[in-house]
Chain A
Amino acid sequence: TQLLEQSPQFLSIQEGENLTVYCNSSSVFSSLQWYRQEPGEGPVLLVTVVTGGEVKKLKRLTFQFGDARKDSSLHITAAQPGDTGLYLCAGEQSGGSNYKLTFGKGTLLTVNP
């Protein structure tokens, strides 16, 4: 069962356009992380959101954590070709000695010049 539904799976846009990636779940997460991965490399952490309703900004990227801590979104303003990559959301569920990071299927973003 896929705990994290990420959409869209593929996105191809022109430079300068805005976009939003969604990450939804029926489960509550203690935190949610967004990563960006380039081909042949490991994922790089962009942000961690912890509090319900939290909004974090990283230059042209805006991350939001849902009030119920079940969903999150990533909004990119004025996308640039350098934003091209695989964006992954990952929810953390932890309790006692159990800790697990569950990844969404990813959004492959292509920004065309």
Chain B
Amino acid sequence: GAVVSQHPSWVICKSGTSVKIECRSLDFQATTMFWYRQFPKQSLMLMATSNEGSKATYEQGVEKDKFLINHASLTLSTLTVTSAHPEDSSFYICSARTVNNQPQHFGDGTRLSIL
């Protein structure tokens, strides 16, 4: 149980393009979803936390106008990287949890490459 699906798993696009990444909880309702960014051989850095039906809370240094997060339902959150540039190339990972005291369940990540 507790499967989180992320789509797409890999995307390559031109600079200036906007890219949307989906994160779905397949067999549970996720009251909270998290978006992380990970550079090669480095750890996960939390970008933002989103609760269903409310605005996302962004970590310091993360541009909310560049990384648009929508959590419209209990099973779906989306991250849109607007006007992506090569420096936005990274591995983006989402996670989801149900209620307090439950662990986060992670998706398999999306490799974003901006040319």
Give the B-binding residues of A (Cβ under 8 A).
Answer: 6, 33, 35, 40-45, 48, 86, 88, 94, 99-106, 108
CB proximity to A under 8 Å, residues B28-47: 32, 34, 41-46
Considering only CB atoms, which chain A residue lies closest to B91 in the complex? Answer: A40
Q: At the interface, is chain B mostly helix, strand, loop or mixed?
A: strand
Smallest beta-carbon distance B97→chain A, Å: 8
A86: contacting residue among B41, B46, B111, CB under 8 A: B41
CB proximity to A under 8 Å, residues B18-35: 32, 34
Give the A-binding residues of B (Cβ under 8 A).
Answer: 4, 6, 32, 34, 41-46, 49, 91, 93, 95, 100, 103-109, 111
Chosen A-B contacts, 28 in total, with CB atoms closer than 8 Å, are: A6-B43, A35-B106, A40-B109, A41-B108, A42-B4, A42-B6, A42-B106, A42-B108, A43-B44, A44-B106, A45-B106, A48-B103, A86-B41, A88-B43, A88-B44, A99-B32, A99-B49, A99-B100, A100-B49, A101-B34, A101-B104, A102-B46, A103-B43, A103-B44, A105-B42, A105-B43, A106-B41, A106-B43
How many pairs, one residue from A and one from B, have CB atoms within 8 Å of each other in the complex? 50
A41 to B110 Cα, complex, angstroms: 9
Q: Report the 6 A-B pairs with minimum CB-CB distance, sorted nearest first.
A: A42-B106, A106-B43, A103-B43, A42-B108, A105-B43, A103-B44
**Which residues from chain B contact A88 at a C-beta distance below 8 Å?**
43-44
Given contacts A40-B91, A94-B100, A99-B32, 10 further A-B contacts (CB under 8 A): A33-B103, A41-B109, A42-B107, A45-B105, A99-B49, A100-B46, A100-B49, A101-B34, A101-B46, A106-B41
Considering only CB atoms, which chain A residue lies closest to B97 in the complex? Answer: A99
Q: Judging by beta carbons under 8 Å apart, are B42 and A106 in contact?
A: yes
Q: At the interface, is chain A mostly helix, strand, loop or mixed?
A: strand
B43: contacting residue among A40, A41, A44, A104, CB under 8 A: A104
Q: Knowing A88-B43, A100-B46, A103-B44, say if A40 contacts B93 (CB, 8 Å).
A: no
Smallest beta-carbon distance A87→chain B, Å: 10
**Which residues from chain B contact A102 at a C-beta distance below 8 Å?**
46
